[in-house]
Amino acid sequence: MSTGIGPGPAGTATGPAPRPAPVLSVRDLSVRFLMPAGRRVAAVTGARFDVLPGECLALIGESGCGKSVLASALLGLLPGNAQTAGSAFLGGLDLLTAGERTLARTVRGRLIGLVPQSPAAHLTPVRTVRSQLEETVAALTATRGRAALRTAAEAAAERAAFPATHLDRYPHELSGGLAQRAATALALVGDAPLLLADEPTTGLDRDLVDRTVDELRRHVDDPGGTEGAGRALLMITHDLAAAERIADRVAVMYAGRIVELADATAFFGTPGPRHPYSRGLLEALPDRAFRPVPGMPPELGDLPDGCAFAPRCARATDLCTGQAPPSGEVACHHPHVPEDVRA
Q: Which residues here bind ligand SF4, judged by CB under 6 A? A: 276-277, 307, 309-310, 313, 315-316, 320, 325, 332-334
User: Of 114 and 307, which has the nearer Cβ to ligand SF4?
Assistant: 307
User: Of 231 and 333, which has the nearer Cβ to ligand SF4?
Assistant: 333
Least separation in angstroms between residue 315's CB and ligand SF4 is 4
Least separation in angstroms between residue 237's CB and ligand SF4 is 22
Do residues 46 and 327 touch, judged by C-beta distance below 8 A? yes
User: Of 58 and 259, which has the nearer Cβ to ligand SF4?
Assistant: 259
Least separation in angstroms between residue 338's CB and ligand SF4 is 16
Least separation in angstroms between residue 341's CB and ligand SF4 is 16
Least separation in angstroms between residue 322's CB and ligand SF4 is 10
Question: Omega before 273 cis (within 30°)?
Answer: no
Give the contacts of 105 (CB within 8 A, at least 6 positions apart).
Answer: none
Least separation in angstroms between residue 262's CB and ligand SF4 is 15
User: Of 95 and 332, which has the nearer Cβ to ligand SF4?
Assistant: 332
User: Of 52 and 313, which has the nearer Cβ to ligand SF4?
Assistant: 313
Q: How far apart are CA 170 and CA 207, in angstroms?
A: 24
User: Of 22 and 273, which has the nearer Cβ to ligand SF4?
Assistant: 273
Least separation in angstroms between residue 128's CB and ligand SF4 is 50
Least separation in angstroms between residue 303's CB and ligand SF4 is 12
User: Of 156 and 307, which has the nearer Cβ to ligand SF4?
Assistant: 307
User: Of 200 and 276, which has the nearer Cβ to ligand SF4?
Assistant: 276
